[in-house]
Amino acid sequence: MIKQTLDFSNPAYLSTSNAQLVIKTSEKTITRPIEDIGVVILDNQQITITQSAIALLLENNVAIITTNSKHLPVGMFLNLDGNTLQSNRFQKQIEASEPLKKSLWQQTVHAKIINQAAVLKRQGKDIKRLDFLANTVNSGDTNNCEAQAASYYWSLVFENYIQNFSRSPEGEPPNNLLNYGYAIVRAAIARALVGSGLLPTFGIFHKNQYNAYCLADDIMEPYRPYVDLAVLGLLGDLSLELTSEIKKHLLNILACDCFFEREKSPMLVALTRTTSSLVACFEGKKKKILYPRIYEPKCS
């Protein structure tokens, strides 16, 4: 079953009863089975949630995201005990060798550039440069293919709609939409990592001592182009403000199809496939992390 994402944009009182999330608003009271929920977004300053609701949601590995006055995610609650083999997997993760981490980062950058190329190809852009970079990423990406690909990619990806776009978290729209989409995917990846018995803090490449989600930031790189694709679908609208309707569109990213060779999975399931494969790499059972590819339509 695909886990649900619940976005609360209006005042509400959230509690629990009989393993159900009880949602009380000024208009009605409804319930949702907690076992069916994957992500909860608290996006209103007048939401009250009980301690019992928080505890039960976390026990069921639900990621709880809080937002600020600009409706951008600023905090997240995650389960501390998401897997029965957690201690053993923590140890394997911490003991991972540098050559292994460099190989995993090489694979991650390769997968990201391949998906960036797929986004550009859908718009009829020249992807030869990205194809070349994807095929020349070396161990640990010491030749900096990720940055070279990013420079090329961002110069073209929104070109049909916006002149001289610059990707910056503080930049002009649609940067605000990208920020929101990335934050949602990041939270879902952190949830998947915990569910697979891994620590989101210890990354394979990102090492910022002030970042509690370095590994989530590593693993999300090949998934970022899915957000870019969703934002592309919004361009052309009269307004690029982060409205409830636009947020709903971006939340649908978690249910979009992700392709693994001949199989496909909704993103929430795909993320677990990726994090499970990462566990196998840390345990020495596999050498390749499993990332999805954005479907490339055939040229006519």
Residue for token pair 């040229």: 299
Same domain? 68 vs 153: no
Q: What is the per-residue pLDDT for 72? A: 80
Same domain? 60 vs 193: no
Q: Which of 215, 208, 169 is nearest to 191 (CA)?
A: 215
pLDDT-wise least confident of 12-21, 115-124, 175-184, 195-204: 195-204
Same domain? 128 vs 245: yes
What gap in Å lies between CA 161 and CA 155, rounded to an integer? 12
Q: Is the pLDDT of residue 274 over 60?
A: yes
Within-domain flag for 261: yes
Question: What is the mean predicted confidence (pLDDT) over 201-216?
Answer: 86
3-state secondary structure of 61: coil
How many of the other CB atoms lie within 10 Å of CB of 262?
5
Q: Which of 287, 268, 266, 291 is nearest to 96 (CA)?
A: 287
Residue for token pair 């951008």: 72
Q: What is the per-residue pLDDT for 241? A: 87
Question: What is the mean predicted confidence (pLDDT) over 46-74?
Answer: 91
Same domain? 245 vs 196: yes
Question: What is the mean predicted confidence (pLDDT) over 151-168?
Answer: 94
Question: What is the mean predicted confidence (pLDDT) over 91-106?
Answer: 96
Same domain? 45 vs 163: no
Where residue 299 falls among pLDDT bands split at 50, 70, 90?
very low
Q: What is the per-residue pLDDT for 208? A: 77
Q: What is the per-residue pLDDT for 106? A: 98
β-strand partners of 48: 13
* Beta strands at 257-260 and 263-266: parallel, antiparallel or unpaired: antiparallel
Same domain? 244 vs 96: yes
Residue for token pair 């009863």: 17
Within-domain flag for 295: no
Same domain? 182 vs 246: yes
Q: What is the per-residue pLDDT for 244? A: 87
Same domain? 67 vs 127: no
**Amino acid at site 147:** A
Same domain? 92 vs 182: yes
CB proximity list for 135: less than 8 A, separation 6 or greater: none
Within-domain flag for 290: no
* Beta strands at 63-67 and 47-49: parallel, antiparallel or unpaired: unpaired
Question: What is the mean predicted confidence (pLDDT) over 183-193?
Answer: 93
Where residue 298 falls among pLDDT bands split at 50, 70, 90?
very low
Where residue 205 falls among pLDDT bands split at 50, 70, 90?
very high
Q: Is the model more confident about 240 or about 130?
A: 130
Residue for token pair 């977004």: 41
CB proximity list for 212: less than 8 A, separation 6 or greater: 200, 201
Same domain? 34 vs 115: no
Same domain? 23 vs 130: no
Question: What is the mean predicted confidence (pLDDT) over 132-159?
Answer: 97
Q: What is the CATH number of the domain that holds 94?
A: 1.20.120.920
Within-domain flag for 32: yes
Q: What is the per-residue pLDDT for 53? A: 97
Q: What is the CATH number of the domain that holds 26?
A: 3.100.10.20
Q: What is the per-residue pLDDT for 300? A: 33
Within-domain flag for 106: yes
Range of the domain at 235: 86-282
Q: What is the per-residue pLDDT for 296? A: 64
Q: What is the per-residue pLDDT for 84? A: 58
Q: Is the pLDDT of residue 83 over 60?
A: no
Q: What's the number of domains the chain is made of?
A: 2
Within-domain flag for 297: no
Average pLDDT of the chain is 91
Same domain? 59 vs 197: no
